[in-house]
Structure 1
Amino acid sequence: MAEVHIIGQITGATGFQVSGLFCKWSLQLGVGWRVVEGVTEGQTQVDCPVIDSEQTSWCHPVDIHLATRGIQGWPRIILQVFRQDDYGRVDLCSYGVIHVPTCPGTHKLTCHTWRPTGTFFEEVQRSLIGGGRQLLSTEYIHSGLDRYQLQTTPMGMVHLELGILLRNFEKHGISY
């Protein structure tokens, strides 16, 4: 079987205009993929920067070893950014998805995120007391089938640094 090693970190986020952010992430795989070792989902700590609220730092490690019989269903990382306020309430900030690079090496990646928008009243309520629209299923984050029907607004960016190691792909007739 061909193998993929993903080693790196979710470094942080920029452009969110709020502090107290944390990120939940999960790795989505196709049918022919198998996790050999590592954790395929996690959550960063909450970062409350005192000096610069534009820059959020997480440095959350990612270390996953995968095996596959083909390249169909190549891994992608699903991101959900949340905000924890001073009272401990948690609100969704944004969703994002980014494909794991297909070539070996070190990659600095930026995932642009978005959130669903509501009616004028819902948006005013969201800005004053929190809350807001959320997806009922995370399937809409990475599936383009029904996502085009959503009204969304762009949010900040999540930054990742991933090292990709590929093994035995040439034995299975896959060149990169």
Structure 2
Amino acid sequence: MGEVHVIGQILGASGFPDNSLFCKWGIHTEGAWKVLAGLREGQTQVDNPQNREEAYWCHPIDVHFTTKGIQGWPKMHFQVYHQDRFGRNELYGYGFCHIPTSPGIHKIDCPTWQPSGTFFESVSQQFLGGAAELRNPDVVYSGSQRYKLTTVATGRVHLQLGIILRNFDKYGIEC
């Protein structure tokens, strides 16, 4: 079977309206993909930068997959949150990106978005805080339902990933 090793880090985020950000992340696969080693999901620490322009997490990613084919290639999905001074967490954006199919080092900027909600929800958000959230977060990486959403762009999550492919040619798997 072919093997894919993903090594890298979630560097941080930029373009969000406030600082004190953290990120929940996960890797989604479909089909005949199995994890040999590593974690498929996690959470970064809260970073409260002094310059208020970019949050730095440098959160490690190290996952080793095995597969019989490329169908269901791994995707990374993110939920970026803001933590206020009282410790309350407010969703600032969802995002996802495909893990590259070519070996080597890749720098990726993953755009994030937030559901815009109804007019009443947006007015409520301005005065009380909080944001519209998805009932089913799986919609983030499944395109069949995502196109129906009305969204607003928020910021970007920055990644650096190293991809190692092994035994793809031996088993006739082509990317």
Do both proteins adopt the same fold according to a TM-score greater than 0.5, normalized to the shorter chain?
yes
2:108 is aligned with 1:105: no
How far 1:133 moved relative to its partner? 0.9
SS in 2 for 1:122: helix
Question: Counterparts in 2 of 1:1-176, with a 5 A limit?
Answer: 1-50=1-50, 52-176=51-175
Shift of 1:124: 2.4
Distance of 1:31 and 1:114 partners within structure 2 = 27
Distance in 1 of aligned mates of 2:13 and 2:122: 23
Residues 68 and 173, structure 2, Cα contact 8 Å, conserved in 1: no
Aligned residues: 175
1:123-148 deviation line (CA, Å, top 9, x unaligned)? 12213321121001112101121212
The one-letter code of the counterpart of 1:65 is H
List alignment gaps of at least 5 residues for structure 2.
Answer: none
Q: Distance in 1 between matches of 2:162 and 2:147?
A: 32
Cα displacement (A) at 1:32: 0.2
Task: Say whether the 8 Å CA contact 1:34–1:67 is kept in structure 2.
Answer: yes
Rounded to whole Å, the distance in 1 between the matches of 2:70 and 2:146 is: 24
Q: Conserved in 2, the CA contact under 8 Å of 1:29 and 1:76?
A: yes
Deviating beyond 2 angstroms after TM superposition, the runs of 4 or more aligned structure 1 residues are none
Give me the whole-angstrom Cα distance separating, in 1, the residues matched to 2:168 and 2:127.
53
> Post-superposition shift, 1:98?
0.4
Determine if contact 1:115/1:155 at 8 Å carries over to the other structure: yes
Whole-Å separation in 2 of the counterparts to 1:66 and 1:175: 16
CA RMSD of aligned residues (A): 1.0
How many Å separate the matches in 2 of 1:166 and 1:4?
A: 5
Offset at 1:174? 2.5
Q: Is the contact between residue 3 and residue 67 of structure 1 (CA under 8 Å) also seen in structure 2?
A: yes
Q: Which amino acid letter does the alignment assign opposite residue 60 of structure 1?
A: H
Shift in Å at residue 166 of structure 1?
A: 0.3
TM-score of the superposed pair, with normalisation by structure 1: 0.96
CA contact (8 A) 2:3 2:167 kept: yes
| Displacement after TM superposition at 1:120 (Å) | 2.5
